[in-house]
Each structure stands twice: as structure tokens, then as C-alpha cells.
Structure 1
Amino acid sequence: MKPRILDPNRREVLAGIGASLRASAAGLIAGGAGPLVTAQLALQARAATLALRPGQPATPVWELAAVSHLGDVRLKRFDSCQVVFRNNLTVPLAPVWYGLNAPAVADQFRGRGPVAPDATETSNISMPNAGTLLADFRLFEDGQKQPARPLPIVVAESSPVAVDRDVVVLIEEWRLRPDSTALPPGRDPKDTAALYTVNGGTSFELSAQAGERLRLRFINGSQRSVLAIKLENHEVQIMAMDGQPAEPFQARNGALVLAPGARADALVDAAASGRFLLHDGKEARQVGSLTISGRLERRPLSPPQPLPQNGLPETLDLKGALRFDVALGAPDAGWARPASFSVNSAPAFRAKPGRTVVLALKNPGSIATVFHLHGHPFRLLDRLDDGWKPYWLDTLAVEPGQTQRIAFAATAPGRWLIESVATDWAAPRLVRWYGVE
């Protein structure tokens, strides 16, 4: 089921924003005041509804929508994208990009805060990497009056990838009251029931011919839950994690486990009908199905080849690395809610550009806690620090009482946020910062 948008003049909005984009781009090119604009993206924070319970009123929600695109947002690697963001909601907001690894539009470290209600901001954002990105308002959730839907953004590789179809699979979670209204995250979920959607609907139905090769971009767009998604009767080859190419590997039992905000690109060679099963740590439920209709006549498919690399370092100097301990969410460790965060607070750590950084992420809490690193993808280290997993991440769930070690090359100078949030709907989202300077 698709959301019903509370916007009766959508064509006028598209036309107006499109004209604004064209005029702004022409001014940049003619005046030589910035890079050549190769892509344009008009975003809007707005009210919407979702039909989540049959026979009951639609649920009011907020959403980050791309009014310049009729389908998925698809850009290309190395695009210089002019972004026009319009805030049609009642609180200051700005998109927060996950997987971009570049300064965001709203960045307190660079003197740019969120966009006021009924205001518009234009900016240019470079797309240095191909991959699956996510943009949302989660750093502003303290002020939200409704839960907000995120926006998947696909940045295509410079060279084509041999697949028949490329499909976004966005999983979201909701806490519904008896009257079908939804509770924003960070509040006590008492008297609510959990519900999950895929691409905004309560059931995800995908049809394919036998022999088709599908690229499925799985996104855990939930706010607090670690989720496992499985496609029955198929081998699932993982090709990328959190927007960065991986050495292809097979998902164990065909299931992918994703922390909130995490993404995984998978290749599936359609062979037989099967269910999409979602597990939230308590129970498995069907959230959709793949139906096979007919057969695609072709030669046997060759094994999947690695995706083109994004230029991340092949090796990391662990012996000469700077090492820091980071206690996730610990009350005495300098964490703050985003609304009370100050750029004058003490950093979690500092590193010189070019250094390898190893972080020991310690979870002192009683439930799993999710860590997100802005600005740099990282490697998950083996237990003995003698190697790393064959993929990059920007988001990681750490089990209670456990320590995970990660490493990254400090290649992006600046000041960047780190996030910590426990996997409890009522838990606050917390932030700190680190410097590469």
C-alpha cells in the first residue's frame, strides 16, 4: 500500500521547485561561482498518511520526500548534486545523510543549523561514492510530533552492474496505539503494538521470471530494532554493506541481520517462489513474497563479480594505529541528546589526517546498543586484532556487556558526529563528536 500524500498541488510544487533548480543551476554555471551541477534533487519535509491497519483510519506520519522524482531517487557517482530542501512541517528540520561521508547540509560544525518551518535551503552536495544511502530526520527526533519516514537514495556505479533489476527494500517499524496513531521514537511505548512495513506497505509483493538476477537493496529504516530479513528458497549473495562494496559472500541461511540505519546490497538469482520473512528477535513474520511467473531464456548466469570499488584503502596500519576506548551511551562519558549538543563539548577523540584509528566500542548497558560513525566507513576487526571482516560498515550493533573493535583511515578532515542509541523504543538518541584535524 502506498502512502496517501496530503498535498493536493503536487504538480505545482514539482513545477515550481524544478524551475527554481534550473534557474539556480544556470546562475552557478554562468557566474562560475561553483562546480558544474550534474544532478538536481528537490526534497520536502511534509505530512503524509499510511494505511497500516485494514478498516481503520490511516495513520498520520511525517516524511522526507523527493518531490523531484516520481520513483526512487537515483544519482550517479561523482555527481555534483544541487539539493533544494523545503520544510513544510512545524519544527526545524534538515536531512541527515547516512553513507554520504561528506559534510551534510545542516552541520553545526560549519555554522549551518536545521531549516526553519516554511523555509527553503539550497546547497550543493558531492557524491564521491556509489552505494545505497539513507536520509532522514533521526537527529531531530526529540522535537517530532509524528514518527518520520526516511528516504533511500541510490548512487549508481560509474560502470553498469550486470543485473536485470535493481529494487529498494526499505523496512520500517512503527509503534501503533489502539486508535491507529503512531508513537514517535524516544517515548514510552506502553499500550502500543509493533508493526513493520516494507516500502510503505504492510506486504511486499515482488514478481520475477525464473533466471532473473535481482539486486535487492535491503535497508533497515527502523529507529531502534535490529532486524533479520530472509528470502526463502534462495541463496543470497552480499555485495555491499552500508553503501560500500564488499568481497561477495553468502548470507548465512539466506538471512541478513541489519542494525537500525544499516544497508546491504544483495544479488539473488530468482529460481522459485518464496516468502520474505522478518525476525525482530522475538518472532518471525511474513512481510512479503517473491512470485515466479515464467522463465527468462538465457545462458547460465556467471558467479557474481565484486562491485567497483569506491577508493577506500586496501589495508589499514593496525600496528601504528591510534587507539581509543568509547563507552556507548555511558552517562559520564560526554554523551548528549542532539537537541542539547554543543560544538564546544569535549571530543570523544582526535586524530591527525592520514592516521589509522582503532576504537574499542564498549556497551556497558543491559541491551544491545547501536553505534553510527559519521564521516568514515570502518572495518570490523577480528577478536585478536589480526584482521577484519571482508566489508565496510558505518553502523554496528554491540551486544550488552560486549566490546567490539573497529578501525578506519582518518581521510576526511573536519569534525564529525558519532551516535549511540539503545535498542529500546523509549531510549534517547545520543551524540558526541570526534575530530580529524
Structure 2
Amino acid sequence: MTKRFFAPTRREVLAGLAASAAGLAGGGATPPAAAWLTLQARPATLALRPGQPATPISELVTPTAAGDVRLKRGDRCETTFRNDLTAAVAPVWYGLDGATAAEPLPGRAAVAPGATETSIISMPHAGTLLADLRLFEEGLKLPVRPQPIIIEEADRVAVDRDEVLLIEEWRLRPDGTAIAPGRDPQDTAPLYTLNGRTSFELSAAANERLRLRFINGSQRTVLAIKLENHDVRVMAMDGQPAEPFPARNGALVLAPGARADAFVDTATSAPFLLHDGKEARQIGSLTISGKLERRAPLSPPQPLPSNDLPDQLDLKGALRFDLALGAPDAGWTRPASFSASSAPAFRAKAGRTVVLALKNFTPVTTAFHLHGHHFRLLDRLDDGWKPYWLDTLAIEPGQTQRIAFAATYPGRWLVESVATDWAAPRLVRWYAVE
């Protein structure tokens, strides 16, 4: 069974007609470049225990791609999703703003087993994205590998190489089988992989400038990743350019689903160290062989090209809402029980600034994810913000964090909340931009 899916709201239809009229009046504008993407959810195996049989898992992949999946900023992408799992699922895109056609639950139903769905999805921003099935984990018997998707800048970025580093978390029983998140992890041991390997090696020459796209593909754990003996300069967070800044002690701390792009000028062989809040372990290594000769020394990296998010947010005139994370009496529900007729967490008119006070009343760190928009993390006195944009944030027990975003894209969008405990349920609500 194949169905085409594209359900714009009335506001989007009117906006599209207005844009078309403007293009005709100006003599006809060139439409965005066309692109095609195929995603498939399917059974798979992964070698997680040396010398032992591969572990059965599920995966979300692009079967036609030989390497990284790369699109261009501005692409209008015809995306086909094929579900070859036994449960109804749909991809969730971390880092994709304004794409109502890609928004699960409030905008579309999950795709039935054996079915195929085609939708039109625009890529408004360059950056590091992650497609995942995590909203539908309750119906899955096995953990699922996500699919990184890179949206490239229109102009070339001055690096020698561009590498994706996907960190994943597994919970293995003594017999080597892996359990899906949301289940009791009793009698399991944690295991982490980098790009699907328990010991990953990245080869490079000395004096190369690498763009390393770190992705925390784990489902529940806040992770710190560090490349020893190198300066790590953060260039983007959650797919949006940042004012470049050095990673503290060379380590990047990432909530589940979060991404960070960093520039590293290679110098010497060094380990990649991972810390899950309990212990540090080596998860891979940078191996240096030879040296890249240059006519001139490397200059400090320049900021990545802007994605045209607003330079300023109107905090004084902002709409303000409190959002208690994880509390069952605060309107949160499991994705399987989600109803679009439920009350929204908040509503905002398009063009307004929204400030959310995220309050974690739970006894464990909780990860929050905002769909449809990126946000600024505000300073404690609401008198400024950190020099980067986010879509995912970890909030410690008993803490309140305030975030602000420009309500740019009309539609119904999800917010997610999940405690950093393997057995914790994923919870959702929705908000409206009108």
C-alpha cells in the first residue's frame, strides 16, 4: 500500500499562493532544487560482542545511500518512507524546523507495517539532523538505530574533511540480546558504539582541519565525548550555527538526540573518551599517519554561514508559559495515547516571541525536545542568552531553565519530555502557532 502525504494548513496554503503570486509578478522565481530521499525501517543485526553472533536490532536507513545522507539547504525533498517492521512507526526529524509534513502525531498518523508513504519536505536550514523512530518505541520489540541526515551549506565550508560521529547506547542481556528503551533494564549491561562499532578508528593526517559532527543517538543518557590532546572548537549546536567557542576541557556534553559540530585541527593520535555520568571509557581513536603540508598556517575558523534565524528576540513583549516536565497531571501523555483533541500546552500567534519556564520536578535529569523551532537558552536573569541555538536540553532535578524562541512556523508541534532512565516512558504534549 502506498499513499502520498502532504497536508498543509489553510495558513500554509495562503502563504504558498502569496509566494507564487509574488514570483509571477517578478517575472518568475527559480523554484528550490528538487531532491529525493528514501528512508526504510527494517530488521537488522549489529556486531556488539567480539567473537559472538550479531545482535538482532532494527534500523532506520537510506538503502540507496553508499555513505552519509547529504542534501542541500533549500532542497524541496520528495521523501519516501517504507516501514518493514511489525509495528506502525514514522520518522521523527530532530533539527528540522517548520516542516508540518514531517511532524508525527498531531500532523500525521504512523505508517502501518508493510506500507509506504511519500511526503514533500523542505529543508530551510543547513545543519546536522537526525531521523529516528523514538516516538514509537513502545510498539517496538528491539532498539532502533537512527539515521543522521546532513543538510549542506550552499557554499563550501573551509575544512579538509567532514565526518559524522554517531554515538549509540545499548542495553544487553547476558545472552547478548538487546532491549528497547522504556523497558526495565534489570540484568542488562550498558554498551556504547561509535558509528556502529565498539572500537572506532578515525584515520587522518596531521595538520588536517576536521569538521566532526557529534550526535548523541542514545535514547536516555546524557553523554560527554572528548578527544584527548586537541582543541575542540564548537561551531554549531543542534544543527544551527553558533558563535564559535572552545569546548570546556575539550569535552562536549550532549543530551539524548542532541548534536554538536566541532572543528578540530589534528595534531597527534588520541583516544575518543566517553563519559555516561558513571564512568569514562574509550570508545574510539583518532589515528594520525603522515602530515598534510600547507602553504600557509591554519587561521582561526570563521563562523558557519547563518541560517537566518533572528538576531534578536523580544523578551519584554514575549508570551510566557510554565511547563512542568514529566508530571502526569500536567497534560503529558505517552505517544501511543496522544490525541490531537487534547488541550495544547500553549498557543502563540505567529511572529511572537515565546518564553518557556521548564521546571523539572522529577528526581532525575530530564531531556526536553522542542519540535518545529529552535530556541535560545536564557541567562538566569532573562537579560540575554547563550551564543547558540538548541532544540534539545537536559534539565537537572529540581532545576528550572528558561528558553525563548520566535514562533515562526504555523502549525501544531510536539514537545517531548523523557527522564534519563532507561525504563522511563517518553511523554509528549503539543503546542500551536496560529
Corresponding residue number in structure 1 for 2:26 = none
Matches of 2:258 and 2:383 in 1, distance apart? 25
Code of the residue aligned with 1:291 in structure 2: it is: T
| 2:203–2:288 Cα contact (<8 Å) kept | yes
| 2:83–2:116 Cα contact (<8 Å) kept | yes
Corresponding residue number in structure 2 for 1:165 = 161
Corresponding position: 1:113 with 2:109: yes
Q: Aligned pairs, how many?
A: 404
- Structure-to-structure mapping, 1:8-407, within 5 angstroms: 38-101=34-97, 102-105=99-102, 107-110=104-107, 112-298=108-294, 299-407=296-404
TM-score, normalised to structure 1, is: 0.91
Code of the residue aligned with 1:87 in structure 2: it is: N
Shift of 1:107: 3.3
Code of the residue aligned with 1:361 in structure 2: it is: L
Code of the residue aligned with 2:190 in structure 1: it is: A
Shift of 1:40: 1.0
| 2:166–2:214 Cα contact (<8 Å) kept | yes
User: Of 410, 415, 418, which aligns to 1:413?
Assistant: 410
Deviates more, 1:227-236 or 1:96-105: 96-105
Percent of aligned positions that are identical:
77
Matches of 1:117 and 1:322 in 2, distance apart? 41
Matches of 2:111 and 2:401 in 1, distance apart? 36
| 2:101–2:119 Cα contact (<8 Å) kept | no
Matches of 1:359 and 1:103 in 2, distance apart? 22
SS in 2 for 1:332: helix
Matches of 2:302 and 2:51 in 1, distance apart? 47
Code of the residue aligned with 2:71 in structure 1: it is: L
Shift of 1:36: 6.7
CA deviations on 1:328-378 (whole Å, 9 max, x unpaired) are: 001110000000010011111111111111000000000000000001100
| 2:143–2:181 Cα contact (<8 Å) kept | yes
Code of the residue aligned with 1:210 in structure 2: it is: A
Shift of 1:204: 1.3
Matches of 2:176 and 2:424 in 1, distance apart? 22
Shift of 1:106: 5.5
Code of the residue aligned with 1:114 in structure 2: it is: A
Code of the residue aligned with 1:185 in structure 2: it is: P
Matches of 1:275 and 1:212 in 2, distance apart? 17
Matches of 2:94 and 2:300 in 1, distance apart? 30
Query: What RMSD in Å do the two structures reach over aligned CA positions?
Result: 1.3
Code of the residue aligned with 1:149 in structure 2: it is: R
Matches of 1:138 and 1:233 in 2, distance apart? 35
Q: Which runs of 5+ in 2 are unaligned?
A: 3-30
TM-score, normalised to structure 2, is: 0.92
Corresponding residue number in structure 1 for 2:432 = 435
| 1:229–1:257 Cα contact (<8 Å) kept | yes
Corresponding residue number in structure 2 for 1:23 = none
Q: 1:188 to 1:60 in 2, by over 3 A?
A: same
CA deviations on 1:119-160 (whole Å, 9 max, x unpaired) are: 111111110000000001000001001100100000000111
Q: 1:43 to 1:245 in 2, by over 3 A?
A: same
Corresponding residue number in structure 1 for 2:15 = none
Matches of 1:108 and 1:148 in 2, distance apart? 19
SS in 2 for 1:109: coil
CA deviations on 1:267-288 (whole Å, 9 max, x unpaired) are: 0000111100000000000001
| 1:106–1:114 Cα contact (<8 Å) kept | no
| 2:323–2:359 Cα contact (<8 Å) kept | yes
Code of the residue aligned with 1:49 in structure 2: it is: T
| 2:32–2:75 Cα contact (<8 Å) kept | no
Shift of 1:55: 2.0
Code of the residue aligned with 2:362 in structure 1: it is: G
Deviates more, 1:355-364 or 1:50-59: 50-59
Code of the residue aligned with 1:305 in structure 2: it is: Q
SS in 1 for 2:328: coil
Code of the residue aligned with 2:138 in structure 1: it is: D
Code of the residue aligned with 1:75 in structure 2: it is: L
Q: Report runs of 4+ in structure 1 exceeding 2 Å deviation.
A: 104-110
Matches of 1:37 and 1:213 in 2, distance apart? 30
Q: Which runs of 5+ in 1 are unaligned?
A: 1-16, 18-34
| 2:214–2:259 Cα contact (<8 Å) kept | yes
CA deviations on 1:368-390 (whole Å, 9 max, x unpaired) are: 00000001100000011110000
Code of the residue aligned with 2:358 in structure 1: it is: L
Corresponding residue number in structure 1 for 2:18 = none
Matches of 2:238 and 2:385 in 1, distance apart? 16
SS in 2 for 1:339: helix
| 1:89–1:118 Cα contact (<8 Å) kept | yes
SS in 2 for 1:142: helix
Matches of 1:258 and 1:150 in 2, distance apart? 16
| 2:106–2:430 Cα contact (<8 Å) kept | no
| 1:94–1:106 Cα contact (<8 Å) kept | no
Matches of 1:311 and 1:37 in 2, distance apart? 19
Shift of 1:104: 4.1
Matches of 2:158 and 2:173 in 1, distance apart? 45
Shift of 1:93: 1.1
SS in 1 for 2:88: coil
